[in-house]
Amino acid sequence: MRRFLIGDRSFDEDSVEFQALLPRAYEHKLRPHCRCKEPAVAMYIARLDGQYFVKRMPLSGRDHDPACSSYEPPYELSGLGPLVGNAIQIDANGRTALKLDFSMTKRSPRAALSLPTESSEPAIRNETKKLSLRAMLHYLWEMGELTEWRSSWAGKRGWGRVRTSLMNAASQTTARGAHLSEMLFVPEVFHQEDKEAIAARRSAALAGAQASGTGPRTLMIAVAEVKECTAAREGHRITLRHLPFPFMIEEGPWKRLNARYETELELWRSNEECHLILIATFGISVSGVAAVEEVAMMVVNEDWIPFESVHERHLLERLARLRRKSVKGLRFNLSRDHPIVSVTLPEQRPSPVALFIVPPGASEDYERALAEMIESRPEMTPWVWRVSEGEMPRLP
């Protein structure tokens, strides 16, 4: 159980007086501090559906004691590490600001191209990294705690849960000076009996993507599960679950998508249980047709945990039966030849465990980078499965 400090008073999480204090503390924007470590770790109070929760500040999971329920493994082991502080900036109120590497508007084609002017200005290095679309999807998944799993959650996570988690994550986040929740569209679970209300909420949510006729088109970001892709008269039609209309994609981008996400599509087609998650910037034309501008994808298993190879899926399958929590590491902007932690087991005793999978045919550089990564986090017990050496080793 967690113990909190509010002001100079100490409370047990479950105590009646603490639960009674929460609404007032929320009202006055008081910040609880978790006493699992000294000095206590700053947290915040969130209100969800009229209930109050003490939540950790974004990306502060590593500051908690490994035994604390708010503990999360350090993000340096996943693709999140290089982005924190640059593309992902966290302020004191627990809100994060993202820098995006994709357009959120579509401007009309440039009227005239001006000849490049002679310029002797010193070149300004743009060293700030930005989030790709895939990294944005991984960010939402991680912040929504959809990378976490324990066996007791079996059967309890469906698209409704996923959607709520994603929207919660977005509500803490800004990008390009706007709230991410206003830019993000995630289709609601469709129920026939609630058809009209859902349609009304949907069209309200999609207002930001609607073409106004003049000026640059503003785009929105959609996250949804792909149902199927079919050829259209021109380009392709992507049908998404819980959405009554398809997203159109032109032939060129469609080809690129297939080449880029060949592995993902292959994994998706090879297994009926898994889901293909799409993230795309899109706009809606005056005639009401939704068209994709940019797109990225990832494959998740039946528990909505992302994976990138059959080996990882096997590992997740084994871990899904464990009562203790497992946390999936994600790649964000990193390419496939960078090692990242596959899964961490934060609740493992005596120390948290980092599970790595070395893909067959990994280079020496890969092994070297992996060794460095393991060395840099001595508090984590490493577990390595080298696929080329055979079967999965025994889990810790």
Partner DNA sequence: ACTAAATAAGCCGAGCTGTT
Partner DNA sequence: AACAGCTCGGCTTATTTAGT
Locus of tokens 């090692």:
339
99 counts as binding DNA under rule CB under 7 A: yes
Name the one range near DNA by CB under 7 A: 255-263, 282-290, 307-315, 377-385. 255-263
Nearer to DNA, 152 or 363 (CB): 363
Give Cα 67 distance to the centre of its chain. Answer: 25
Task: In angstroms, give the least distance from the CB of 218 to DNA.
Answer: 8
Task: In angstroms, give the least distance from the CB of 152 to DNA.
Answer: 39
335 counts as binding DNA under rule CB under 7 A: yes
Nearer to DNA, 257 or 353 (CB): 257
Task: In angstroms, give the least distance from the CB of 84 to DNA.
Answer: 17
Site string for DNA, 163-182 (x = CB under 7 A): -------------xx-----
Residues in 103-132 that interact with DNA by CB under 7 A: 103-107, 109-110, 113-114, 116-117, 119, 121, 123-126
Query: In this structure, how many other beta carbons lie within 10 angstroms of the beta carbon of residue 127?
Result: 6
For every residue of 371-382, DSSP letters joined together read HHHHHH-TTSEE
User: How far apart, in whole angstroms, are the C-alpha atoms of residue 160 and residue 153?
Assistant: 14
Torsion of CA 278, 132, 295, 339, to 10 degrees: -60
Q: Across the chain, how many H-helices and E-strands are there?
A: 9, 23
Residues in 176-235 that interact with DNA by CB under 7 A: 176-177
95 counts as binding DNA under rule CB under 7 A: no
Cβ(308)–Cβ(331) below 8 Å: yes
* DSSP β-ladder status, 220-231 and 184-185: parallel
User: How far apart, in whole angstroms, are the C-alpha atoms of residue 44 and residue 94?
Assistant: 7
Task: In angstroms, give the least distance from the CB of 177 to DNA.
Answer: 6
241 counts as binding DNA under rule CB under 7 A: no
Nearer to DNA, 103 or 151 (CB): 103
User: How far apart, in whole angstroms, are the C-alpha atoms of residue 26 and residue 18?
Assistant: 12
User: How far apart, in whole angstroms, are the C-alpha atoms of residue 358 and residue 76?
Assistant: 18
Nearer to DNA, 39 or 361 (CB): 361
100 counts as binding DNA under rule CB under 7 A: yes
Tokens of 152: 């007791």
Q: List contacts with DNA (CB under 7 A).
A: 99-100, 102-107, 109-110, 113-114, 116-117, 119, 121, 123-126, 176-177, 255-256, 259-260, 335
